[in-house]
Structure formats: structure tokens, C-alpha cells
């Protein structure tokens, strides 16, 4: 009697058994018996409290790789933890009065229970949350090492300030220039903040990212663009009239387009340029202008989008190349103080920001780069700057040169005149890590009036967050805590003040991979790192990965990490999202997939029977209600089916659309695999037969093993799944034939092992059913017999006197005489040997037949 596979009873049973056998614990280097290591890591989750399908896909992918490597004999590290600091916990505290820590740890418990149901082969013994004092204490120690090394420093920097809530806002909390809670117009304020000196590694981060061959090209490019190396010229403009006090040496600008100098029509300085600030002291109009610019917010994006604002200072500077020509000096909101020198020259014809500015304020527009095929007499840029290639014109000694050559010559001329210097600039800024928030890692320093900044002594780490804090008012709870910040100076013992800023949560995720490798043993960290395969969302392609690459270098240079390359992730895979159709009721409200009924093409609201508008297929999100709850899927179909489906339908880097039909199909396929085991007699089994049908089935199986193996290695999980489908079809057919028990049993033993990375619980049940030894999760990857996987024919090139004349395809085991005869019989060969004396024939097996004639 055929039985059905019951995931509801099988899955928990296997998970308990794995846990009891402690199957997925990574071995210490000394116990690994020389096995190669594989560190497989998925970006650790934020404990929001609920698992979503995107998590399932992400962690299922990592698990496929981890289980596969384990089966191939690697000592695998596959850990899990929680990226647990951050704003949502504080928001929950503000909204519901629950302590952020309590909220976070409750979420971790809930999510961990969900995670455990997925059957992931994780080493939970290394679990931690970044809000554990042990973790953030170690991070504080690291911070102090970096401070000591000069990789951490303080400087005044702009923050978004909410004047109503009296608090600093993160860029994401500024919406259309207003504070997200108060709605007040946000101001920029200077605050002394902590920075990591990531720019010290700018060049190295750029060169090395190009060498990460197992990273997606797209991510490498994004990193390179973010670092943004610009080669250009730093150039001094002398004042045409009397220079303002303190600015006798002129205005220094940075340009990447010195070739366009003859098209310059103004010089612009940042609203925060020292000259602007100085002049504002005596000009109310300029003061007002600066205040207006300050309302735009601090993000580059906000400034980019803002309307161009300008203020004519009345000053003029001399053109460096054109005798007697002068340029007006403006203050302009699109010039950032934090980049280059905080001053530019504007060439409107060839820069969009400059032309927007020039058109608004009636400044000259002189084109100096002539596009190929354009007429110098009539060429006009209108309102759109020309930034393409061409030859220089209207430009004196540069006329006729292509852009790159003109850049070189302009730089040479400026350098020779002592007016400036060719330079390299990076877009990358030092990383501001101060946050005026509670739920983060306290910065472990003390401010003393006499001693200045004093590191918290190692013995006093971790600096713990106080528990008794309130969230009933805006601002930083650490700042208003009655006692927490009061402390004696570790150096002079006078009353001093703790730093109340906490670290950006990106810091927490910049070194967790090293902590997983070992909490304290440098040798073990060196053994595991770099991560061999990192898996995560492309939304982290820039910041998280860049900060992690910086941190690995900083830790290395502080003697904390033996990782010469400084690259923490040797391989990176960025997975696509899980999408779903969207549904709207007549009134326009979104409906959950569970609230609609599909009958062929007709979709109705289950509760009302009214028609439903089927919308676009989009990333699952709460706002559109097109989510499917993993818990519900696991309860209905089992974790294996959920894992199988999210990996099956599209390549892992692309999005996969969740459909009811798809998940049901995956469920049927699981039963089909089970039925193959179920239809076999009980073990033990005879050896596979040597008859043609047995051989054929064995060939199919052994080749499938190779295909699945290769597809997993190449991150083509959908191809692996397709190969398993074909294999199962062949096995299903073989059920009908007599005398195949041996070949079928062999096939099933291999199939169980190939299915394990995807549907580990089902694979265990199959393995158990066919009398497999131990756990299939601990079994070695099946070995394919080359005699059964190689094709049995070969193609050989046929040469006459060393010249290729044709080719033959023959049976692999054909004797040399027969091969020679076949070669000579080829018409295109025969033509060259007809009537000649064949001196000898050389057969290089599997490759060439060379016929030598006189």
C-alpha cells in the first residue's frame, strides 16, 4: 500500500534528531582532521519579530551551499545571529512604552522559533545579538583600539536638526525637508561628532574591489562609484581687485574639467565656505542666504534636487589663461563644503548644474567642447549641458585638442605658472558614526574638563546602556538620564561626563562575521576568514559591504585580525526578491492573497464574492498586503516545500513570483520523490544489474549527480532543481520495469543526497526508508562513476601530413586499426591520400589521427 509523506510529523522529528546529534556544529580547526574549511554566511537579520518570504529565500540559498559543502567534506561554519540595535526598537518604546531591549529579545525569540522550523543547518552555538553587552563591549574595545591608531576622530559636522523636537534626525527621518514626527522645517546644525577614517583606505578599497572575482560585477561597480575617484586639478584664482582679509592667496577650486577653463563664466563658493561665513558677518542679505541654504538638509540627494540658489558676492577673480578677463564670485547652494575645496569654477556649457545656475542668474554660456560633426559657427547648448567627447574650441592654446589631451595640457600650464596642482579626489567621505539615540552601542569615552577625551579603561568595559530610561519625550534618553553620564575621570578622578552618543548600527554589522569565527581566538578567526560565500540583498551593495571591508582592514591594522588582504568576503551572491500579485477591492483597498478566491482567470473577494482587481506583481510588502506568511506555508506544506519553491522557478539572482499553483506543485513533487522510495521493496538491495536498462538508469543517475553538483557550485539552484525533476521522471518510468531494483536503489540513495540541500527533511525520510546509514545530512556527496557519465563516443581530428582535413566520430573503445580505417575512408581525407604511399598512421587516442604520406 502506497503511503504519503507527512511533513508535519517528519519535519519536527528530523530537526529534533539533528539537534540531539549536534550535527551542524563547526569543528574547531584542530579537530577538522585536515578538512578544508568553508565559511558560509547570510546577512544576519534585523529582529523585526516576523520572518518573511524574502528571509526564507535568502537563508535557503545559504543553506544549500552550506549543506553541499558539508557533504563534499568541508568543515563548514554556518552561523546565525541578530543585528539587533536600531530605531524600530526605540519607536516601539515610544509608541507602546515597552523597553527597546525587552521588545528586541522577545522578537529574537519569536523569530528564532520560526527560523528553526526551516530546517537550516545552522551552528546555533555561536549565536549572539549585537545588543548583547558581550558583543557591544568587544566593539567598544575595538573602537578604542581604532581611536589609538588614529582611525577614529572627532570633528564638527552638519546634522539635521529638528527645532521643534529639539533632536538630531537621521537622513531618513527628514521627509521633504521636514522632521518626520514634528513636521517642522529641518535645519542644519554643526555638532561635534565621531568619525571613522575610512578615507585612509579609499585607494585600497577601490583597487581591491576590482579583484573580487566572485562578487557580482554590478556590486563592484557600485562600490567603485561610491568611492568615486576623480582625477583633476586644484587651482587658485587670484582676486582681480583687493582680496578680502585673510584670502590674499585667492580662492582654491577643484575641477575635473580643466579642459573647459576657457568656458568659465563664474566662480562659486559653498554657503559654508570660510569666505562666505566671513562676509556674512557684515552682510544681513548673505546671512539670510546662508540660513535659507541651511534648510535644505544635509543629504547630497536633497541638495542635488533643490532649486539652485545664488548670491553675488560682488568680488571678482582673474581668469588664469585670459589676460585681463575676470569672473564674478557667487555663493551657491549646490557647492558642497565637504567635497574638493568647497569652491568651483562654473563652465555652464558643459555642466548641468552650472547651466541651470547660469540661466537662472543670467551668466555667460560659452561652449568650448565641440561634439564630433557639430559646426563651430552654429553650435549652441541651449539649456542642456554637453558632457560628451569632442574637440576643444574657443580656447586659445587648447584649440583642436581632444578632451583628455586638453586636460593634460591645461594642468601642465597651471602647474608651470605655480597656480595649482594636478590632484586626485575621492567622493568617499569619512564615516560619521555618532548617533544621538539610546538603542545603540555607547561610545566608550569620557569627557573631562582637564584631561579632554579619556578612553574608558579596559576593565570598565562594556559601558552598559542603562535600563531605566524614558521615551516620553524626543531627544536622546542617555542625555537626560539623571545619573548615567556622571562619572569620575579615569585619569584625574574629577567629576566628568560620559559620551552620550551611540554608534551607527552599521558599525555593529561591520565585524560580526569575525565574531562568529571566534569571540576571542585570533588563530580561529584567521582559520575561518575570509567568508567563502556571503549571501544577501543587493540593497547592501554599497554601505554595509564597504563598511565591512573598511573594518576588516582597520582590525587587521590594529592587530585584531590576521587577514592580509583585508577582504572579509571572498565570494558574494546577491539574491533576487520574492514577489506576488497584488489585489484591490472595489474601493481601492489592498487585499491579502488569503482574502481572495481564484477561479481560472476570475478573481473575487472571498468574503463578499465581489470582483477583485488584480494588480502588478511586486515585491512582497506589508503596505500592499501581498505577503505570504512563512509560518502558514510551513504549517500547510512543510518547510521543504517552501524552500524548494523559492529556489525553483527562477535564477537565484532574479525575483521569484510566489504563486499558490507553484507551491502546490512543489508539494506534489515532494510526494513524488517519496513515492519513489515507497515503491521500493525494503532494504537490503541487490547490486545494480549489468543489463542495458539498468545501465541506462545508472547513466541517468550518475550524470544527474554531476549536473546538480555543478549547478550548486555555480549558484544555479533552479538548474539543479530542473535536473532533479528530469531525474525523478526517469526514475518514475523505471518503476514499471522489472529487474531494476538494484539500479533504482542506487539511484535513490544518490537522489536523497542530492535533494538534501533543498529539502533536507524529506531527504532524511527517504534515506531512512531505503536503509541509509546515519543521517543523510551527514552523508558524503555521491560519487559519480566516470565510466557512466562520460559519453561513449569520441570525435577525433584527422590530419594528412599534419594538416587538418576532417574529423570522425567513433565509439570510444574502438581499436586503433578500426579508427585508422575510418579515418582513411573519409572522402575529404581520401582525396589527399589517393594514389600516394601511406608511410605511417599515428593515432593519439581520443584526439587526433595523423596520416603520413610520401
- Chain residues in the site for ligand ANZ (CB under 6 A): 230, 254-257, 260, 334-336, 339-340, 342, 344-345, 347, 350-351, 425, 427
263 DSSP 8-state letter? G
The interface partner of residue 134, options being Zn ion, ligand ANZ, none and the CB cut-off 5 to 8 Å by kind, is: none
Q: What x-and-dash track marks residues 489-528 binding Zn ion by CB under 5 A?
A: x-xx------------------------------------
Shortest spacing between CB 251 and Zn ion, in angstroms = 42
Q: Does 647 bind Zn ion (CB under 5 A)?
A: no
d(C-alpha 334, C-alpha 311), whole Å: 12
Longest dimension (CA), the chain: 111
Contacted entry of ligand ANZ, Zn ion, none for residue 574, CB cut-off 5 to 8 Å set by kind: none
Nearer to Zn ion, 449 or 691 (CB): 449
Element (H, E) at 553: helix 543-557
Of 713, 796, 639, residue with least CA distance to 8:
639
- Select the span of 201-209, 445-453, 770-778, 834-842 touching Zn ion (CB under 5 A): 445-453
Q: Cα-atom radius of gyration of the chain, to the nearest Å?
A: 35
Nearer to ligand ANZ, 318 or 336 (CB): 336
- Give the CA distances from residue 492 to residues 280, 449, 485, 830, in Å, rounded to whole numbers and listed in that order: 42, 10, 17, 101
Q: Which is nearer to ligand ANZ, 42 or 351 (CB)?
A: 351
- Does residue 450 bind Zn ion (CB under 5 A)? yes
Residue 347 binds: one of Zn ion, ligand ANZ, none (C-beta under 5 to 8 A by kind)? ligand ANZ
Interface with Zn ion, residue 448, by CB under 5 A: yes
Residue 450 binds what, of Zn ion, ligand ANZ, none (CB under 5 to 8 Å, by partner type)?
A: Zn ion
What span, in angstroms and rounded, lies between the C-alpha atoms of 838 and 833? 7
Residue nearer to ligand ANZ on the CB measure, 174 or 335: 335
Grid cell at residue 273: 565656505
Q: List the alpha helices (DSSP H) in 679-716.
A: 692-713
Min. distance of Cβ 425 from ligand ANZ in angstroms? 5
Single out the segment in contact with Zn ion by CB under 5 A; choices: 124-132, 283-291, 482-490, 724-732: 482-490
Query: How deeply is 672 buried, as exposed, middle or buried, from its count of CB atoms within 10 A (0-12, 13-18, 19+)?
Result: middle
At its nearest, how many Å lie between ligand ANZ and the CB of residue 310?
Answer: 13
CB nearer to Zn ion: pick between 299 and 491: 491
Alpha-carbon distance values, 47 to 61, 82, 507 (Å): 20, 6, 17
Q: Which is nearer to ligand ANZ, 45 or 342 (CB)?
A: 342
491 binds, among Zn ion, ligand ANZ, none (CB under 5 to 8 A by kind): Zn ion
Separation CA 360–CA 369 (nearest Å): 22
**What SS3 class is residue 223?**
helix
Q: Give the nearest distance from C-beta 390 to ligand ANZ in angstroms.
A: 12
Q: How far is the CB of 388 from ligand ANZ (least distance, A)?
A: 11
Which partner in Zn ion, ligand ANZ, none is near 340 (CB below 5 to 8 A by kind)? ligand ANZ
**Least distance from C-beta 488 to Zn ion, angstroms?**
9
Q: What are phi and psi of 52, to 5 degrees?
A: -120, 170
Name the binder of 489 from ligand ANZ, Zn ion, none, CB < 5-8 A by kind: Zn ion
**Cβ atoms 347, 265 nearer than 8 A:** yes
- Residue 395 CB, nearest approach to ligand ANZ (Å): 12
821 binds Zn ion (CB under 5 A): no
Alpha helix positions (H), 464-541: 477-480, 505-508, 512-517, 522-528
CB of 448 to Zn ion, least distance (A): 3
Quick one: 336 or 614, whose CB is closer to ligand ANZ?
336
Asked if 488 touches Zn ion (CB under 5 A), the answer is: no
Min. distance of Cβ 303 from ligand ANZ in angstroms? 9
Output 41 or 347, the one with its CB closest to ligand ANZ: 347
The residues facing 453 across adjacent strands are: 447
Q: Is 854 exposed, middle or buried (0-12, 13-18, 19+ CB in 10 A)?
A: exposed
Residue 727 neighbours by CB distance under 10 Å = 24
Secondary element (H or E) of residue 77:
strand 75-77
Instruction: In angstroms, give the least distance from the CB of 260 to ligand ANZ.
Output: 4
- Shortest Å, Cβ 489 to Zn ion: 3
Q: Cβ atoms within 10 A of the Cβ of 605, count? A: 17
Closest separation in Å from C-beta 156 to ligand ANZ: 17
Residues 759-796 as b or e (16 or more Cβ within 10 Å = b):
bbbbbbbbbbbbebeebbbebebbebeeebbeeeebeb
User: What φ, ψ does residue 510 adopt, rounded to 5°?
Assistant: -90, -10
Based on the shown chain and the rule CB under 5 A, indicate whether residue 451 belongs to the binding site for Zn ion.
Answer: yes
* Residue 248 interacting partner from Zn ion, ligand ANZ, none (CB closer than 5 to 8 Å by kind): none
Listed ranges 12-20, 346-354, 411-419, 448-456: which one lies at the site for Zn ion (CB under 5 A): 448-456
492 binds, among Zn ion, ligand ANZ, none (CB under 5 to 8 A by kind): Zn ion
Reply yes or no: is the peptide bond before residue 462 cis, omega within 30 of 0: yes
Residues within the interface to Zn ion (CB under 5 A): 448, 450-451, 489, 491-492
Amino acid at each position: 500500500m502506497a503511503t504519503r509523506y507527512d511533513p508535519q510529523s517528519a519535519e519536527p522529528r528530523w530537526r529534533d534528531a539533528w539537534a540531539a546529534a549536534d550535527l551542524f556544529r563547526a569543528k574547531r580547526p584542530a579537530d577538522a582532521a585536515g578538512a578544508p574549511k568553508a565559511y558560509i554566511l547570510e546577512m544576519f537579520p534585523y529582529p523585526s519579530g516576523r520572518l518573511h518570504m524574502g528571509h526564507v529565500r535568502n537563508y535557503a540559498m545559504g543553506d544549500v551551499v552550506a549543506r553541499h559543502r558539508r557533504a563534499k567534506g568541508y568543515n563548514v561554519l554556518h552561523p546565525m545571529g541578530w543585528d539587533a540595535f536600531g530605531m524600530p526598537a526605540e519607536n516601539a518604546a515610544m509608541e507602546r512604552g515597552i523597553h527597546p531591549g525587552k521588545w528586541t529579545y522577545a522578537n529574537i525569540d519569536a523569530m528564532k522559533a520560526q527560523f528553526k522550523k526551516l530546517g537550516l543547518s545552522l551552528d546555533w552555538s555561536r549565536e549572539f545579538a549585537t545588543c548583547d553587552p558581550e558583543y557591544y563591549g568587544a566593539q567598544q574595545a575595538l573602537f578604542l583600539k581604532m581611536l589609538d591608531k588614529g582611525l577614529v576622530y572627532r570633528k564638527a559636522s552638519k546634522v539635521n536638526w529638528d527645532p521643534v523636537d529639539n533632536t538630531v534626525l537621521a537622513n531618513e527621518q527628514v521627509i521633504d525637508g521636514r522632521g518626520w514626527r514634528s513636521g517642522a522645517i529641518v535645519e542644519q546644525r554643526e555638532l561635534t561628532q565621531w568619525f571613522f577614517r575610512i578615507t585612509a583606505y579609499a585607494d585600497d578599497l577601490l583597487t581591491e574591489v576590482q579583484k573580487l572575482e566572485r562578487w557580482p560585477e554590478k556590486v563592484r561597480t557600485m562600490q567603485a562609484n561610491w568611492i568615486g575617484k576623480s582625477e583633476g586639478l586644484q587651482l587658485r584664482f587670484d582676486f582681480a581687485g583687493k582680496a578680502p582679509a585673510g584670502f590674499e592667496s585667492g580662492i582654491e577650486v577643484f575641477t575635473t574639467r580643466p579642459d573647459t577653463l576657457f568656458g568659465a563664466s563664474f566662480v562659486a563658493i559653498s554657503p559654508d565656505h570660510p569666505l562666505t561665513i566671513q562676509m556674512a558677518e557684515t552682510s544681513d542679505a548673505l546671512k539670510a542666504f546662508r540660513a535659507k541654504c541651511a534648510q535644505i538638509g544635509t543629504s547630497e540627494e536633497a541638495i542635488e534636487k533643490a532649486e539652485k540658489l545664488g548670491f553675488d558676492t560682488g568680488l571678482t577673480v582673474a581668469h588664469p589663461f585670459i589676460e585681463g578677463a575676470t569672473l564674478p564670485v557667487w555663493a551657491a547652494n549646490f557647492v558642497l563644503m565637504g567635497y574638493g575645496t568647497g569652491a568651483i569654477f562654473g563652465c555652464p556649457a558643459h555642466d548641468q548644474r552650472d547651466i541651470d545656475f547660469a540661466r537662472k542668474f543670467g551668466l555667460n554660456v560659452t561652449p568650448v567642447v565641440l561634439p564630433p560633426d557639430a559646426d563651430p559657427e552654429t553650435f549652441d547648448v541651449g539649456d542642456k549641458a554637453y558632457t560628451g567627447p569632442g574637440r576643444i574650441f574657443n580656447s586659445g592654446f587648447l584649440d583642436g585638442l581632444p578632451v583628455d589631451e586638453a586636460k593634460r595640457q591645461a594642468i601642465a600650464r597651471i602647474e608651470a605658472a605655480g597656480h595649482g596642482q594636478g590632484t586626485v579626489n575621492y567622493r568617499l567621505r569619512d564615516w560619521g558614526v555618532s548617533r544621538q539615540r539610546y538603542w545603540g552601542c555607547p561610545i566608550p569615552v569620557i569627557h573631562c574638563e582637564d584631561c579632554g577625551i579619556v578612553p574608558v579603561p579596559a576593565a570598565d568595559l562594556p559601558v552598559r546602556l542603562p535600563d531605566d530610561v524614558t521615551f516620553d519625550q524626543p531627544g536622546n534618553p542617555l542625555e537626560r538620564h539623571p545619573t548615567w553620564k556622571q562619572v569620575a575621570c579615569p585619569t584625574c578622578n574629577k567629576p566628568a561626563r560620559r559620551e552620550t552618543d551611540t554608534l551607527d548600527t552599521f558599525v555593529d554589522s561591520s565585524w560580526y562575521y569575525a565574531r562568529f569565527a571566534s569571540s576571542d581566538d585570533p588563530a580561529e578567526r584567521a582559520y575561518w576568514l575570509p567568508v567563502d560565500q556571503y549571501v544577501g540583498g543587493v540593497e547592501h551593495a554599497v554601505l554595509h559591504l564597504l563598511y565591512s571591508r573598511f573594518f576588516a582592514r582597520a582590525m587587521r591594522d590594529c592587530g585584531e585580525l590576521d587577514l592580509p588582504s583585508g577582504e572579509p568576503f571572498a565570494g558574494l551572491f546577491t539574491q533576487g526578491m520574492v514577489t506576488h500579485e497584488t489585489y484591490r477591492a472595489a474601493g481601492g483597498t489592498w487585499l491579502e492573497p488569503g482574502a481572495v478566491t481564484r477561479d481560472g482567470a476570475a478573481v473575487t473577494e472571498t468574503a463578499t464574492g465581489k470582483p477583485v482587481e488584480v494588480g502588478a506583481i511586486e515585491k512582497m510588502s506589508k503596505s500592499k498586503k501581498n505577503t505570504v506568511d512563512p509560518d502558514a506555508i510551513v504549517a500547510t506544506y512543510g518547510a521543504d516545500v517552501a524552500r524548494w519553491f523559492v529556489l525553483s522557478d527562477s535564477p537565484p539572482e532574479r525575483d521569484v513570483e510566489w504563486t499558490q499553483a507553484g507551491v502546490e506543485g512543489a508539494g506534489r513533487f515532494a510526494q513524488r520523490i517519496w513515492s519513489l522510495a515507497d515503491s521500493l521493496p525494503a532494504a537490503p538491495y541487490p547490486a545494480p544489474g549489468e543489463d542495458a536498462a539498468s545501465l541506462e538508469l545508472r547513466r541517468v543517475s550518475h550524470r544527474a549527480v554531476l549536473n546538480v553538483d555543478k549547478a550548486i557550485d555555480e549558484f544555479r539552484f533552479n538548474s539543479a532543481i530542473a535536473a532533479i525533476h528530469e531525474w525523478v521522471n526517469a526514475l518514475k518510468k523505471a518503476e514499471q520495469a522489472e529487474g531494476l531494483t538494484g539500479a533504482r536503489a542506487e539511484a535513490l540513495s544518490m537522489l536523497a543526497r542530492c535533494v538534501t540541500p533543498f529539502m533536507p527533511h524529506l531527504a532524511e525520510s527517504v534515506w531512512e526508508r531505503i536503509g541509509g546509514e546515519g543521517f543523510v545530512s551527514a552523508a558524503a556527496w555521491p560519487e559519480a562513476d566516470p565510466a557512466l557519465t562520460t559519453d561513449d563516443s569520441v570525435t577525433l581530428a584527422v590530419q594528412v601530413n599534419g594538416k587538418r582535413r576532417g574529423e570522425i566520430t567513433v565509439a570510444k573503445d574502438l581499436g586503433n586499426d578500426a579508427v585508422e580505417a575510418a579515418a582513411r575512408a573519409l572522402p575529404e581525407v581520401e582525396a589527399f591520400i589517393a594514389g600516394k604511399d601511406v608511410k605511417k598512421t599515428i593515432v593519439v587516442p581520443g584526439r587526433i589521427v595523423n596520416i603520413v604520406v610520401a
